[in-house]
Amino acid sequence: MTSRKLLLTLLAGIVLVLPALVTHADERHANECQAKVVRGSGDLGLIIERARGSIQLVDTTQRCLLQRVEGLGDTSHASAVFSRDARYAFVFGRDGGLTKVDLLTGKIVKRVMQSGNSIGGAISQDGRWIAAANYVPGGVKIFDSETLEQIADIPAYSEETKALSRVVGLEDSFGNRFAFSLFDAGEIWLMDLSEDPRNPKLTKFKNIGNQPYDALITGDGRWYVAGLYGEDGVAVLDMWHPERGVKRALPEYGKGEQKLPVYKMPHLETWAASGNLAFIPGVGRHEVVLVDLATWKLVDRIPVAGQPVFVMSDPTGRHLWVNFAFPDYDTVQIIDVESRQIIHTMKPGKAVLHMEFSPRGEQVWISVRDANRVDIYDTETFKKLGELPVDAPSGIFFSSRAHRFGL
């Protein structure tokens, strides 16, 4: 072959190969973020990859994956809270791991094993203290959010049952106060870190109901509401007036009705409130329950496609997005708050585990576990804006949670 011929052959090769390379690069850019040297963190977040001990850091402006962070232990049912500068995420793993992740650098800053079996946590109003709720050993532990040094240990020992109880529904409120529930003992404890965080002041409310399984706190930090699995109704603590004690609300709800089997426990943590109404998943009933916040009386029941798991109000308070337990977990329904009607039903695919709204609610991100996919929808038109490949996604947590109570 002459050198001229060789050159031509090479050139032809480059012309053929180039478009393939360009296409490949485009595909990569569809999911991956464009790097920025200096950036804010208000539009960042993370997605739990429940089966592989990792999280994906995401950007909700570009709607892309920043990077995967590995080495977080057992991330099934993992959840996260954020530092007050919205830069760091504190991830609570099922295996008791507490991991502080820098959203900007994608690095694990610090990681401690704080218990044998954990369910989640909360952060104090001033951002200085992290509280973790544990099943084994049952109790709450407090950590310095800067160093993750443990500063207090509160075993959930019930004087009624003479045993440690698993702790659920740990929520933060104003004045560096927290509230949590004892699943096995039927108690609610108020924990006050305002005077001495190393020796928190405890106020214990006993006989609040059978098997509190999760709780929520309203966005203003006032009402702590624990859902009861073992009986009908919910238990309510007014954080403005703890001296008034825990009151039972909705005792009339579902009385005398046969319950349907619950194949996954509903979650209450994400409060759905709009105007003077609260929206709570029915337990053992395929309906969303509307409660008047002034009287704590039942207002209405909206029949839905299955056992609701999350009932989430979009940030405008106009619509509720509802997902469901097995076997209806391929479905999401949207309820219009004003008319109390289901206005849209979608089927993103098997195992919709979680939904998260962008800070001002123009997008919602939905985890579709078995499809290894997170779908992004426009909340106004319900049109799909895009999807991201994420391994067995579960919880989605955006940094805007940093500035809200009880998330």
Tokens of 14: 């480059």
Write out the DSSP string of 231-286. SSSEEEEETT-GGG-EEEE-TTTTTTPPPPP-SS----SS-EEETTEEEEE-SSSS
CA distance 281 to 377: 23
Query: In whole angstroms, how close is the CB of 84 to other proteins at the nearest point?
Result: 30
CB nearer to other proteins: pick between 94 and 141 = 94
* 174 belongs to the binding site for other proteins (CB under 8 A): no
From residue 356 to residue 375, the character string flagging contacts with other proteins as x (rule: CB under 8 A) and all else as - is: -------------x------
Per-residue CA distances from 16 to 19, 21, 77, 182, 218 (Å): 7, 10, 48, 67, 60
* 231 belongs to the binding site for other proteins (CB under 8 A): no
Query: In whole angstroms, how close is the CB of 369 to other proteins at the nearest point?
Result: 7
The size of the interface with other proteins (CB under 8 A), counted in residues, is: 27
* 377 belongs to the binding site for other proteins (CB under 8 A): no
From residue 278 to residue 307, the character string flagging contacts with other proteins as x (rule: CB under 8 A) and all else as - is: ------------------------------
* 104 belongs to the binding site for other proteins (CB under 8 A): no
Q: Judged by CB under 8 A, which stretch of 6-14, 61-69, 172-180, 262-270 contacts other proteins?
A: 262-270
Q: According to DSSP H, which parts of 3-84 are helical?
A: 3-31
CA distance 369 to 157: 36
Query: In whole angstroms, how close is the CB of 64 to other proteins at the nearest point?
Result: 27
SS3 40: coil
Q: Judged by CB under 8 A, which stretch of 19-27, 141-149, 154-162, 257-265 contacts other proteins?
A: 257-265
Q: Is residue 365 a contact partner of residue 356, using CB atoms and an 8 Å limit?
A: yes
* Burial class for 241, CB neighbours closer than 10 Å (0-12, 13-18, 19+): exposed
* 91 belongs to the binding site for other proteins (CB under 8 A): no
CA distance 191 to 193: 7
CA distance 56 to 68: 4
CA distance 217 to 225: 6
* 351 belongs to the binding site for other proteins (CB under 8 A): yes
Q: Judged by CB under 8 A, which stretch of 13-21, 74-82, 124-132, 379-387 contacts other proteins?
A: 74-82
CB nearer to other proteins: pick between 100 and 166 = 166
**8-state DSSP, 401:** G
Window 51-70: residues binding other proteins (CB under 8 A):
51
CA distance 262 to 227: 14
* 327 belongs to the binding site for other proteins (CB under 8 A): yes
Residues that bind other proteins (CB under 8 A): 50-51, 74, 76-77, 94-95, 117, 119, 135-136, 166, 168, 183, 211, 213, 229-230, 261-265, 326-327, 351, 369
